[in-house]
Chains A and B, each alone.
Chain A
Amino acid sequence: AQSVSQHNHHVILSEAASLELGCNYSYGGTVNLFWYVQYPGQHLQLLLKYFSGDPLVKGIKGFEAEFIKSKFSFNLRKPSVQWSDTAEYFCALQTGANNLFFGTGTRLTVIP
């Protein structure tokens, strides 16, 4: 069975600090990977996705993620966070014809 782990439940950073949120998955086959963001009181929005090709994917708002197949990881990064990045971040896995499996989320608080 597939699963997604996000070990950081709550991350607190000051503005301009660098961010890395961990995401590890468990599945032996081909995967599609996503990062979604949920701003306070809003619905989920896609930050970036990986289907194939270059394992370093760039998304919106300066976010990027690197797919490392050997480590089953898809960590999200941003070199310099802003107060407006305060949100909850979800990593998600899609396998074959199946559906999305979400991690439990990481709440990011950016202090001005």
Chain B
Amino acid sequence: EAQVTQNPRYLITVTGKKLTVTCSQNMNHEYMSWYRQDPGLGLRQIYYSMNVEVTDKGDVPEGYKVSRKEKRNFPLILESPSPNQTSLYFCASSSRQGLVVSNEQFFGPGTRLTVL
């Protein structure tokens, strides 16, 4: 089954304790992206990757890191989480045609993070 998976689905942590949220897709998609969803703000892009070893900042990258060492995986790293990073996080992937990200983005199930 074609899908995007994220782990963990729920996480409660404390300020300053490094954490990683994993994202994996089995559709051989070149493009992957991380979003955070907050009430009244919709989804905002954190980072995206057009291919292996190619990553770039989205609209709200502060406090986050990503890596893209393999095509299927795109982990989101919070080196020193803070309470304002409490949010619902979604990973997404999409195919590309040349330079254009085409077609729909497929979303993972989400990770609800609480930072105390």
Tell me if A104 and B110 are in contact (CB < 8 A).
no
Which A residues touch B92, using CB under 8 A? 44, 100
CA distance A45 to B106 in the complex (A): 7
Tell me if B110 and A96 are in contact (CB < 8 A).
no
Q: Is A67 engaged at the interface, CB distance under 8 Å to the other chain?
A: no
Tell me if A104 and B108 are in contact (CB < 8 A).
no
Per DSSP, chain B at the interface is: strand
What's the minimum C-beta distance from A74 to chain B, rounded to whole angstroms? 15
Interface magnitude class on chain A: 20 to 34
Question: How many Cβ-Cβ contacts under 8 Å join chain A to chain B?
Answer: 46
CA distance A61 to B58 in the complex (A): 32
Q: Is B74 engaged at the interface, CB distance under 8 Å to the other chain?
A: no
CA distance A5 to B107 in the complex (A): 22
CA distance A60 to B32 in the complex (A): 24
Tell me if B43 and A42 are in contact (CB < 8 A).
no
Q: Is B78 engaged at the interface, CB distance under 8 Å to the other chain?
A: no
What's the minimum C-beta distance from A98 to chain B, rounded to whole angstroms? 8
Tell me if A42 and B109 are in contact (CB < 8 A).
yes
CA distance A97 to B51 in the complex (A): 13
Of residues 39 through 62 on chain A, the ones whose CB sits less than 8 Å from some CB of chain B are: 42-46, 49
In the complex, per-residue mask of A44-88: 1 if CB is within 8 Å of any chain B CB, else 0? 111001000000000000000000000000000000000000000
Q: Which one of A34, A44, A96, A102 contacts B44 once the chains associate, using CB atoms below 8 Å?
A: A102
Q: Is A25 engaged at the interface, CB distance under 8 Å to the other chain?
A: no
A97-B99, A99-B48 known; A43+B107 contact, CB < 8 A:
yes
Tell me if B99 and A100 are in contact (CB < 8 A).
no
